[in-house]
Structures are given as structure tokens and as C-alpha cells.
Amino acid sequence: MAHQPGKFDEPAREPILGGPASVVETACPLDCPDACSLAVTVQHGKVVTIDGSHRNPVTDGYICAKVRKFGERVYGPDRLLYPAVRKGRKGTGQFGRVSWEEALERIASRFEAVKATHGAEAILPYSYGGSNGLLTQDNLDAQLWRRFGTSRLARTVCAAPTGAANMALYGKMASVTYQDYPSARLIVLWGVNPSASGIHLVPYVREAQKRGATLIVIDPRTTALARSADIHLPVKPGTDLAVALAIHRYLFTSGRADAAFLQAHTHGADELRDRAEPWTFERAAETAGIDRESLERVAQLYAASTPALIRCGWGLERNRNGGNAAMAILALPAVAGKFGVRGGGYSMSNSASWNIDRTWIGTPDPDTRCVNMNHLGRALTEYDDPPVQLLFVYNCNPAATVPDQGRVLRGLEREDLFTVVFEQVMTDTALYADVVLPATTFLEGYDFAKAYGPINLDLGRPVVDAVGEARSNADVFGELCSRLGLLDESEPSGELDLMVHVIDQLPAPIGADLRAGSLPAPPFGIAPVQFVDVFPNTPDRKVDLFPAALDASAPMGLYGFQPDPATEKYPLALISPASDRTISSTLGELPRPDVKLLMHPADASARGLADNDLVRMFNDLGEVHCTLSVAPSIRPGTISLPKGIWRRNTRNNTTGTALVPDSLTDLGGGACFNDARVQVTSLAVA
Ligand code: SF4
């Protein structure tokens, strides 16, 4: 039987009837900066509505439209309810229900068989932030992979270049939180669109504007915040590095660099100044395709404003220059002397603020093969030392989200590959599984929600019982460890035990607060001032503006610019920004209006295309068929398809990743989503 959503022998679910309802508090652990506190209304043991609560002050009683609809995932037709094994050709979704016992026994025996024939490194665990909490990732799963000796995974599909830059410069020092934005006199939103992701930042930016702050937005699209900005720089994708270096050059050559700060708190300023020297406003503006005067005005305003705050987003990292761009942007407040005042400095991921080093993973990382997750297609089709024989996917949907989709799908189709997908819903990847295991959602179990925008950590509690036979990551990885003889009886193995164990392992005051049901705070509070309350976590507590190791590893050296990969044949830059529909690809199974490719009127006219045309977007890697939206809200030469769409959302079952090369960023080994260069024609003509 071909997979029909929700039809693993599942009887129809009864509708929710009237009756008493209760409101249960929990927290959202999904891969979003905000980690909202939630008030979930439950009736007859089922989720009725999901809303924001006031427990986390930043949530302020409201949440995004995405998670308000999360009940449609929990009870939706795509929800996985039982373990199942493949009955037909890979990718066709033909499965038959089995018991947990049978499914886990099959998996455990395949682990042993692969180890015996090819070695444990022929097993590749594959995961990302689909369930971003501390229980569902890097916990008993890591125990299993490390103790069995599988290949390791470099989780680099997102935040790797910005993370590498933030670590090298500042040792991931805690950064300015949402609550301090209204104190800023100038805010630069660089490669970030909080209206779509991390929405609770928006009112703080608006409040700053009301108080007279200057807003600068740097983004190829005219987002809602760009429309109200004082200056919008619609840069070409991949050129943020040139723009940032031109501002550095201005700071150094105009005497606006803070010599005293540079002397006291940094090293490497001379080398940075040398690398910025060639980037005049003229050259940077031409490279970025922006107005020279506007760029100069941005530099002047930034130099002259205090407090000045740069919000460094993730859009600027997804290209060949992404790591160096993040380095140059994050270095600006050090060169301009913008620290030491509330609302001044930079704002980046605050994920490291809690100093949580996951001591609960009781086994060190083994020295086994490390596979960059952006090279999944290569790993499945080319790696032979050893070949990947068993792929275990969880918290992740690589068939839709990873570069070079065509090669990933060819790999997943391999008949000799045994694929396990442990998931909440029937994803594009699950359709290729040999064994599908149903996972609980965050509403059905415990987890720790750790914000990376505001500084907030909270315990999420089960709101309803597990749906169908879904089980938590902790339970399933614990049981697999036990079956494979990898877990001592004294070690925690179930979700509840593990939750208590994690609390015990957290820094004492944090654990005590969580046990008492209150919101913990790190020692420096939830709104630290950089260089007053927090300092770089580098070995000498100084900002390293020119780390030698990064200079050696970047293809063009540190702050070195790689030119645009566009060709005459493929001149358009495709970007895939976050949308208001999905969290990465989570919730992509829900119905949505037709997914549209956004194109500037000049590009459409040059191709004889009009609004609502069916188009073919293509390059040498693949093609995507979808509807066109023509609007001036994107710069000419750049087109945009939403991030996180599923294969079902386009006319030919591909996503934008079908056009994305699996090349890596200059620093951090990240994905170059925005380096896809394509052509677009009418589908009718094609
Ligand atoms: S996805 Fe983000 S904005 Fe939405 S509920 Fe979760 S934390 Fe809040």
C-alpha cells in the first residue's frame, strides 16, 4: 500500500468535543532564537490551542503563527504513529506497520552486521536542529554514536561560519539581547529578517525607532523592516564582506577607529587594516551593487552614533565569503569602539551564554571519520573508505534541505543502504527509509528550551500524552544503547531519568532554579553589557582580529574576497530566506498557498515573464518548476524561493536545494545556499 498520510492502520481520530479545558505551561525548544514560553489549552487530553504566555518576559503573551499551528502537526494526516518497515521501492512511501520490538531489533542487528562487515564508521548518524532541546540532541544519541564508534557528523548546515567567526574573535562572548535594543541610537540589521524568524525582536527595534534610533538594513530584499529603515543597502548575495571592509577602511583612514580600545582589548588590528585597505567605497559599492553615497553614509552614521548595535544574522553567511563576512562584521564594534555601553556592540547567537558543556555525554568524541553534513550526497554516493551502509536520520529532513538535492536523493535510493528515519511526520527523507520510527513532539515530552536571541532557558513539560506509539529521543536512543550493550545499568536511559540527570549536571544555580520551577539566569544576568559584564572568552580575554589559523585555512586568506560565481549562462543569484511558514523545514507538511519564486520586474521583463507565470528555474545541477511572483521587493539579479519548503511544494518535486552546489564556505565548512546561480525561463517555452 502506498503511504497515505496517517494511514498505518490508523482509525479516524475523533473530533474534539466540548468540555472542560485546562491551560498547561511549557516552552518552545524549536530552532528559533526566541524559546518562547507557551500556554497550551488542552481538552480531552488533546491540544486545542497554543499561545504565548508571560513567563518569559520577551514572549510577552504572543508567539509566531507557525507554532500556533503546531497542533496540526501533532494530529495531522502526516503524523507518524507506529514503527514501520519498507515494503516497496525507496522513495515511494510503501510501508507496513511493525512493533517497536521488531523495529529496534532490526536496527540493532543491522548495526552489528554493518560493524562486522564494513566497520562501525560505515554507520552515519545524521541530525540537525529539528528538535533543538538539550534532551533531544547531543544526549543519549551522542552516547550511542560515540560508544559504537560510528562516523561523526560536522553539523554545519547553518551557523557554522558565523559560529567560527564569533568563536575566533570573541570566544562566543554573550551578546546584546533583545531587551537592550531600545537603548541603541543606531541599529544595523545585517542579513537578518526578524519579521520571519525570531519575531520578538521586532517590537524592540520599533521601540528604538520610536525613541529616535537610526535603522539600517542590509539585505537583498526590501523586507518590512527595510521599508521603514533610514538606509537600506540591497547588497548582492555574497558581497557583505566587501561592504564591511569598506566601513573598516573608513574607520581606519578617517581617524574614527578607537585606538585606545584597540590597544587595550585587541590584537591583529594592523593586519585587518591592511586587508581592508583596497576596499574603497567605490570598489565595495560596485562589488555589492549598491549606491556609493548610501554606503558612505552608513559608515559615517555608524562611526558617529553611540550606542551603535549590529545584529549579525545568518543570511550573510550562506555563501563562499560567509565566514570572512561574519569576521569583518563582528569586528566592526571593536574597531569603532562601540562596546561598554548598554545597547552598544553586537548581537549574535547567545547559545554559548550558559556555559553548558554537556557533561552528561559521558564518553569523549572518538577519532572516527568526520563527515560534513553538507556533503551528504557525496558521502552516500562516493565515499568508499568505508562506504556508508547505514544512515540514521533524526531531527532533520536532508532530502529537502541539504545542498545538491539530486545527489542526496540518488544516495538515498541506493538499495544497499539501510536507512532509519526517526521522525514526527512523514518527511521527504522518511519516504526513503527502510525503517521509520515515530518520534514525540515537544508537546508530548520534556525538553530544555534554550534561547539564542534573548538569554533564556526553561524546562518544557509534556502537555499531552504521546500520540500513537511515538516515543521520545531519550527513550529510543537509550534502548538502542542498551540493546547494543553500550549502557551501564546505573546510567539514565529514559526521558524522565535523563531530564533529572541533565538538571543535576547543569551549573548548580541553574539546576536549582529549574528544580524550583523558576527561570534561571547566568551569573552576568539576562542583559549583559559587553566589556562591562562580559568579556571575550579567548585565552587572553582580548579580541583576536586576525587569528592566524583562520588566515591559513581560508581559501583567499583572512578577509579575502572570492568573486561572484555567476556566469553568462546562469546569471541570477538564488537565495532562500526564512519564511513565516516553517522553522527550517519543520511544519513543511502543512498546507500552504502556492510557493512562489520572487523576481524583480526588470529581470522578469528581460525574460518575457509575468506575475503568476509558471517558470522553470535551472542550472547544471537540477531544475525547479514553480509559480513566479514579480515585485520590486528584491534587487535585480537576485531571486528568492522560501527556505524550508518540501518537495511537494513545487511542480516537479524539487526544492531550491536542487540548484545549490555542495561547495563550502571560506570558514567553518558551512553551506553555500546563496551561491546557487541559475537561469529562469517560462515553463511553457521549456
Ligand atoms: S518558533 Fe520561535 S517565535 Fe515561534 S513559538 Fe517557537 S520560539 Fe516562539
CA–CA distance, 584 with 130 (Å, rounded to integer): 8
CA nearest to 469, candidates 438, 435, 426, 425:
438
CB distance 317 to 326 below 8 Å = yes
DSSP letter at 346? E
Ligand 1: residue whose CA is nearest its atom 3:
64
What's residue 18's pLDDT?
Answer: 64
pLDDT(191) > 80: yes
CA–CA distance, 456 with 33 (Å, rounded to integer): 10
Instruction: Report how far apart the first and last C-alpha atoms of the chain are (Å, whole number).
Output: 35
Q: CA 272 from chain center: how many Å? A: 29
Q: Tell me the average pLDDT across 520-549.
A: 96
pLDDT(355) > 90: no
**Backbone CA torsion sign across 551, 553, 556, 559:** negative
Q: Tell me the average pLDDT across 155-165.
A: 93
CA–CA distance, 583 with 368 (Å, rounded to integer): 31
Ligand 1: residue whose CA is nearest its atom 7:
35
Question: 52 alpha carbon to ligand 1 midpoint, in Å?
Answer: 9
CA–CA distance, 626 with 613 (Å, rounded to integer): 8
Strand 623-630 versus strand 614-618 pairing type:
antiparallel
Question: 197 alpha carbon to ligand 1 midpoint, in Å?
Answer: 8
Strand 572-575 versus strand 638-640 pairing type:
parallel
Q: Could you tell me which residue, 686 or 357, shows the higher pLDDT?
A: 357
Any idea which of 125-139, 264-278, 328-342, 661-675 has the lowest mean pLDDT? 125-139
pLDDT(359) > 90: no
Q: CA 243 from chain center: how many Å? A: 24
Ligand 1: which of 25, 26, 28, 643 to mutate, most ligand atoms within 8 Å of CB? 28
Q: How many residues does the chain have?
A: 686
CA nearest to 420, candidates 665, 38, 186, 145:
145
Question: 59 alpha carbon to ligand 1 midpoint, in Å?
Answer: 9
pLDDT(12) > 50: no
Instruction: Give kind and range of the element (H or E) at residue 41.
Output: strand 37-43
Q: 3-class DSSP state for residue 351?
A: helix
Q: Which atom of ligand 1 is nearest to the CA of 28?
A: 6
Q: Across the strands, what pairs with 422?
A: 394, 437
What's residue 130's pLDDT?
Answer: 78
Question: 451 alpha carbon to ligand 1 midpoint, in Å?
Answer: 10
Question: 193 alpha carbon to ligand 1 midpoint, in Å?
Answer: 14
Predicted confidence band of residue 307 (pLDDT cuts 50, 70, 90): very high
Ligand 1: residue whose CA is nearest its atom 1:
32
Q: How many CA atoms lie within 13 A of 542 on its CB side?
A: 15
Residue type, position 316, single letter? L
603: left (phi over 0), alpha (psi -120 to 50) or beta: alpha
Q: Which atom of ligand 1 is nearest to the CA of 583?
A: 1
CB distance 422 to 392 below 8 Å = yes
CA–CA distance, 75 with 45 (Å, rounded to integer): 12
Question: 428 alpha carbon to ligand 1 midpoint, in Å?
Answer: 23
Tens of pLDDT along 318-349?
999 999 999 999 999 999 999 999 999 999 98
Q: Tell me the average pLDDT across 564-587.
A: 96
Q: Tell me the average pLDDT across 435-462.
A: 95
Predicted confidence band of residue 390 (pLDDT cuts 50, 70, 90): very high
Residue type, position 151, single letter? S
Tens of pLDDT along 36-89?
999 999 999 999 999 999 999 999 999 999 999 999 999 999 999 999 999 999
What's residue 11's pLDDT?
Answer: 36
pLDDT(14) > 50: no
Tens of pLDDT along 650-661?
999 999 999 999
CA–CA distance, 664 with 667 (Å, rounded to integer): 8
* Pocket (CB within 6 angstroms of ligand 1): 28, 30, 32, 34-36, 63-64, 66-67, 199, 583
Average pLDDT, the chain: 94
Ligand 1: residue whose CA is nearest its atom 4:
64
pLDDT(132) > 90: no
C-alpha cell read off for 308:
551603535
CA–CA distance, 348 with 345 (Å, rounded to integer): 10
Predicted confidence band of residue 123 (pLDDT cuts 50, 70, 90): very high
DSSP letter at 202? H
What's residue 3's pLDDT?
Answer: 38
Q: Tell me the average pLDDT across 244-271.
A: 98
Strand 676-682 versus strand 614-618 pairing type:
antiparallel
Question: 36 alpha carbon to ligand 1 midpoint, in Å?
Answer: 5
CB distance 673 to 606 below 8 Å = no
pLDDT(1) > 50: no
CB distance 530 to 170 below 8 Å = no
pLDDT(15) > 60: no
Tens of pLDDT along 620-635?
999 999 999 999 999 9
Please state, as a whole number, how many other Cβ atoms lie within 10 Å of the Cβ of residue 123.
26
Question: 323 alpha carbon to ligand 1 midpoint, in Å?
Answer: 27
Question: 66 alpha carbon to ligand 1 midpoint, in Å?
Answer: 8
CA–CA distance, 484 with 650 (Å, rounded to integer): 42
Predicted confidence band of residue 606 (pLDDT cuts 50, 70, 90): very high
pLDDT(147) > 90: yes
Q: Tell me the average pLDDT across 517-539.
A: 95
Strand 596-599 versus strand 623-630 pairing type:
parallel
Q: Which atom of ligand 1 is nearest to the CA of 34?
A: 7
Predicted confidence band of residue 13 (pLDDT cuts 50, 70, 90): very low
Mention every residue, 6+ apart, whose C-beta is less than 8 A from residue 559.
241, 245, 272, 275, 276, 324, 327, 328
C-alpha cell read off for 254:
578617517
Q: Which atom of ligand 1 is nearest to the CA of 50?
A: 5
What's residue 10's pLDDT?
Answer: 38
What's residue 75's pLDDT?
Answer: 97
- Which ranges constitute the DSSP H helices of 193-311? 201-210, 224-227, 240-253, 259-265, 269-276, 281-288, 292-304
Q: Which atom of ligand 1 is nearest to the CA of 52?
A: 5
What's residue 52's pLDDT?
Answer: 98
What's residue 4's pLDDT?
Answer: 41
Q: Tell me the average pLDDT across 455-478.
A: 96
Mention every residue, 6+ apart, whose C-beta is less than 8 A from residue 583.
30, 31, 32, 66, 67, 197, 644
Q: Tell me the average pLDDT across 215-229.
A: 97
